[in-house]
Amino acid sequence: MKAIQQRCYGSPETLALADVTKPSPADDEVLVRVQAAAVNPLDWHSVAGRPYLMRLSNGLGTPTDSNTGVDFAGTVAAVGNQVTRFKPGDAVFGGRNGAFAEYLVVREQRAVAHKPANLSFEQAAAIPVAAVTALQALRDQGKLQKGQKVLINGASGGVGTFAVQIAKALGAQVTGVCSTKNVELVQSLGADQVVDYKKKDFTQSNERYDLIVDNVGNHSPLALRRALEPHGTVVIVGAPKDGPWIGMFWGVIRGLVLSWLVDEKFVFFVADLNQNDLNWLANLAHEGRMTAVIDREFALNEVPAAIEYLASWHARGKVIVRLE
């Protein structure tokens, strides 16, 4: 089968489309014919090996795993002897390393769920990493309650577009922050208020929020604290990709230190892709209360270009890799 492989760290151009052995499902695994995959900032960081701190787990000199991509949607091609939840022909979506390939295997109990019938494979592939991150940032880390005020900084990106919709579904009053060209998009997703960051700095206004989900990292922890209600929370999801050694973790470190000194909380977490949350999101999409915003689609052999485009910070919503 064809798959995008990573043999070394560097620019996305180091990735190559290769012929590799098609996997076979173990007794507790599902073999999926991938029909769509999605690109995430994590893919850029993994390819570049930056910040260098990531190489402690990914491999110091070269990547320990040559497979690439995580988000997928497709059709079950075969199942192991012990699998009961899925059968050949089922449309599924989920997260598993190796999504930039024609086939992958995933354990039945892990991050795989039935695809909502009202979503295309491309829309379903957009969900796993971004929407699970948004859900866990709001519900689990931010402890968002009905009626609270939440601000989504970076509301037009992959995580942000889902965060706006999920926060509304959880009963919050939602303010989205984005550029001028994306104001109408964020409004269409259900935001009660939209701040155009080119015209107004939300950290300098009189508005205060119970929760801020920061997908951008363009404000210091002290500035974000000014926009919080007493005892409010900032959940740090994203950050600029510069800084080769600790990069995005510098803002996290400053936020965590500040949390020791003030009543407000600064939280950083790594999303846990799991079946329960995928099913929760699938139900929300099935009910028509959440949709995927897709910016561009690329072919499998165009994955390097897809990652470069996402890294340009111009993408609205998700960037998709479509497999024929």
Task: Read off the pLDDT of residues 117-170 as tens digits, 9 standing for 90 and up.
Answer: 999 999 999 999 999 999 999 999 999 999 999 999 999 999 999 999 999 999
SS3 content of the chain, % helix, strand, coil (to 5): 30, 25, 40
pLDDT at 313: 73
Alpha-carbon distance of 79 to 244, in angstroms, equals 42
Region 293-307 average pLDDT: 96
Region 277-285 average pLDDT: 98
pLDDT at 291: 95
What tokens were used for 280? 């929760």
Q: pLDDT per residue over 81-97, tens digit each?
A: 999 999 999 999 999 99
Q: pLDDT per residue over 178-208, tens digit each?
A: 999 999 999 999 999 999 999 999 999 999 9
Comparing 169 with 264, which gets the higher pLDDT? 169
**Residue 256, pLDDT above cutoff 80:** no
**Residue 244, pLDDT above cutoff 50:** no
**Residue 260, pLDDT above cutoff 80:** no
| CB-based contact 159:316 (threshold 8 Å) | no
Residue of 323, 321, 262, 324 whose CA lies nearest to 38 = 321
**Residue 279, pLDDT above cutoff 90:** yes
pLDDT bracket for residue 253 (50, 70, 90): low
pLDDT at 222: 87
Residue of 233, 287, 278 whose CA lies nearest to 131 = 278
Cα end-to-end span (Å), the chain: 13
pLDDT at 246: 43
pLDDT at 265: 85
**Residue 289, pLDDT above cutoff 70:** yes
**Residue 101, pLDDT above cutoff 50:** yes
| CB-based contact 165:188 (threshold 8 Å) | no
Query: Facing residues of 19 across strands?
Result: 2
Largest CA distance in the chain: 60
Instruction: Please name the residue ranges forming H helices in the chain.
Output: 41-48, 55-58, 121-125, 128-135, 158-169, 183-188, 221-226, 249-261, 275-286, 303-311
Region 45-54 average pLDDT: 61
Query: Facing residues of 177 across strands?
Result: 153, 195
What tokens were used for 75? 């059709």
Distance of CA 288 to the CA centre of its chain: 20
Is residue 269 classed as helix, strand or coil in its secondary structure? Answer: coil
| CB-based contact 41:217 (threshold 8 Å) | no
Q: What residues contact residue 280 under an 8 Å CB cut-off, 6+ apart?
A: 135
**Residue 245, pLDDT above cutoff 50:** no
**Residue 324, pLDDT above cutoff 90:** no
What tokens were used for 317? 């919503």
Residue of 155, 121, 174, 156 whose CA lies nearest to 324 = 121
Region 107-123 average pLDDT: 97
pLDDT at 44: 77
Q: What is the mean pLDDT of the chain?
A: 89
pLDDT bracket for residue 43 (50, 70, 90): confident
pLDDT at 53: 55
Region 17-23 average pLDDT: 96
Print burial letters for 26-45: b (CB count within 10 Å at least 16), e (below 16).
eeebbbbbbbbbbbbbbbbb
Q: Provide, rounded to the nearest whole percent, the portion of the chain with pLDDT above 90.
A: 73
Alpha-carbon distance of 32 to 40, in angstroms, equals 20
What tokens were used for 320? 């998709």
pLDDT at 195: 98
